Structure 1
């Protein structure tokens, strides 16, 4: 299964996947052809058999959005131009939401909105789960659509609803150590070339989901609580000393920490971990059987830091003690230094 940034011209618009869109929007064949001629691209999800199972088109709108009621004020907005998903019980909807929010952040937009017919209740519920609210309506010859709207400056109490925004002010912060082999699987867009400002938009890894489960035996991991902010720290490689190769890469928010011993059976353990884990079922069964990793961390993957700070910078410029790090609490000053030196977006991390 793969999510690809694909030219409209390379997408088979005759695929049966698009039939329902053609029924809802009479003008979509003409619109699609215009996008193809303009060289525009969309995110297309291809299933195991190569069939299209998801399609997402995003665009930036600068100024006033006046074709909805009530209009959106002057500013930079992201519009979810077209979105259709054949979920098949997967986390595909979450993957597309992650891509939408990545695009919003990379575009330095203030908000994001989507129009959707009321009959698409599942899609509406998905957006509402991540903080979209009904803003108004859009009236076209196709009918009346709901306008669902999310403003990044609106910070609700619920962690999922305020995603991708991280409420760090007044919260505990920790540095969480992860080995490279697991880091690559957990945080695919945190391994990209920092020199490319378009990188986070181009990244289309299917493992790039919002919610993660990580299983570990790090000292201090049991002290983590819901709402704690964690800075992900990828340990060094075997070639270059950790002083230079170990780096802080991402900002996440803890949702829950549970103990392996809390699961009565392996099936209970799999039911909890498998939907959000990058580990295979075989690996998870081995973890459960061996019992070497007692802590299961569930967290949201909110933000890939634009600049990765290596261990040398964390110690020399951020005030961290040069010692063995596992799950290490950060003070506010250390955390602020990390945000500043990494060039973090102040609209996403409220510190």
Structure 2
């Protein structure tokens, strides 16, 4: 059984081999891959890309350095027409390179593609969500390698609330903020430090990896254009360069949207410069819309936070409805629901924020948690049930456990799609960049042709507060007797009995 193969885009190769100092996250990628026997490949099409560089000296140096990497050759007989039909419109030579890289990923010659190109991520996501999860930013590739091969040692942080005056202005995250915003230090001192403005912060190894500054506004005193009396402005949304990818941004966005939904905000909005393509794509995926531009060229993204029952209009799937209205989701008649039993070990991997707080000392600090606390997740099992309705509700039942909660439904998810993995290699690919499982855990599942593993992609929608205990599940006829040992279909009345336990900030 081989380790996964990483195919790197030209922009990643340049980041690793450029004349300039190698950025820490690029160096970490190369070090972790080397340590764990993960091969890094380049594609013959990327070499063609370098040959088009008009700077002769740079072209010669790049071509000499790229020889350090093994090369994946082009497939004979695959022309532009075939690539365009599968991977989207090809207008420029660079688009042809992108489609060729995706083809190499698609046929399995590489397990993951690492690129900083937002357009390439979007191409992959349009093919399928599972395929898109195999295209990683450098920061997410580093996170994947750490989680997969160094899971015992990994200590990645959760979001913590801090006051601006408690954050050191010498932290490296402020360097790029000063570059982006002239007069940033004065603004930070006057508008954030003096009023001790609340911030959400993600710490990593003593430094700020992600920073989000919030402000409550009212109608008539805001740049938001959507109607509403209670408005949440995100003044600063920053992920440090070496941590930039999907996971930390999603972690911070989850904090924003759960806070807004729970605290009866009508609108959430923020501004971003046009070059922040990764952030804009993340915002749009979860229902933010670009409403206008400020005078300084910043784009304003707004999202309405509804509290009515979510009804499905014609022409949209239940999953897309939930994604665009996140964290709301559709319920009741016409919405399938399942109880999913999950062992304590995997519950703590998927939902680390629910671990008994006394356990956090195992990971070094009570404010730190393992890296499962994002929105898009993957669950692995061998249950015989076939889940087919995107947007179906998943109720995770944690079995008898040493730590609390025990024997209770704790969490609501929104089903996206299910795939079958027939080998460990295929399991790695299908779990993709969302995986929070170690390589040992993946291998122990022993996926084979005759005993495949189900890969269930879902959105984390909510946690029940408090969890619905087994006694209540029995008394309300959600469970007739013993708790299920496999995925169990729930009737609409059973679904509503579980949902009635929670406080979601919107009508169910």
Using the size of structure 2 for normalisation, the TM-score is: 0.58
Cα distance, 1:289 vs. partner? 5.6
**Is 2:436 aligned against 1:278?**
yes
- Aligned residue in 1 for 2:280: 124
2:476 pairs with one of 311, 317, 322: 317
1:45 pairs with one of 202, 217, 240: 202
Please tell me whether the aligned partners of residues 65 and 72 of structure 1 are also in contact (alpha carbons under 8 angstroms): no
- Aligned residue in 2 for 1:327: 487
Deviation string, structure 1 residues 249-293 (Cα, Å, up to 9, x no partner): 1110111111122x5xx4443132142122112321332467866
When you count strand as a share of all residues, which structure comes out higher? 1
Q: Which moved more, 1:73-82 or 1:283-292?
A: 283-292
- Aligned residue in 2 for 1:145: 298
Cα distance, 1:90 vs. partner? 5.6
Q: What does residue range 1-351 of structure 1 map to in structure 2 within 5 Å?
A: 1-3=156-158, 4-34=160-190, 35-48=192-205, 50-61=206-217, 63-68=218-223, 71-85=225-239, 86=241, 87-89=243-245, 91-139=247-295, 143-153=296-306, 157=317, 158=320, 159-169=322-332, 170-191=334-355, 205=369, 206-220=371-385, 222-237=386-401, 245-261=406-422, 266-288=424-446, 294-325=453-484, 326-340=486-500, 342-345=501-504, 347=506, 351=508
Aligned to 1:98, the other structure's residue is in SS state: helix
Identify if the C-alpha distance between structure 1 residues 281 and 89 changes in structure 2 by more than 3 Å, giving closer, same or farther: farther
Deviation string, structure 1 residues 4-55 (Cα, Å, up to 9, x no partner): 433323322233422332233334323322433433342233345x443321
Please tell me whether the aligned partners of residues 286 and 324 of structure 2 are also in contact (alpha carbons under 8 angstroms): yes
Please tell me whether the aligned partners of residues 64 and 72 of structure 1 are also in contact (alpha carbons under 8 angstroms): no
Deviation string, structure 1 residues 129-180 (Cα, Å, up to 9, x no partner): 21111122333xxx13221011133876414333222122421011111112
Gaps of 5+ in 2: 1-155, 358-365
Please tell me whether the aligned partners of residues 57 and 82 of structure 1 are also in contact (alpha carbons under 8 angstroms): yes
CA distance in 1, matches of 2:227, 2:350: 37
Please tell me whether the aligned partners of residues 215 and 293 of structure 1 are also in contact (alpha carbons under 8 angstroms): no
Instruction: Name the Cα RMSD after superposition.
Output: 2.9
Deviation string, structure 1 residues 216-267 (Cα, Å, up to 9, x no partner): 12342x3454221111111122599xxx941111110111111122x5xx44
CA distance in 2, matches of 1:137, 1:224: 41
Identify if the C-alpha distance between structure 1 residues 88 and 40 changes in structure 2 by more than 3 Å, giving closer, same or farther: closer
When you count helix as a share of all residues, which structure comes out higher? 2
Larger radius of gyration: 2
Greater relative CO, 1 or 2 (CA 8 Å, sep 6+): 1
Using the size of structure 1 for normalisation, the TM-score is: 0.82
Gaps of 5+ in 1: 194-201
Please tell me whether the aligned partners of residues 318 and 338 of structure 1 are also in contact (alpha carbons under 8 angstroms): no
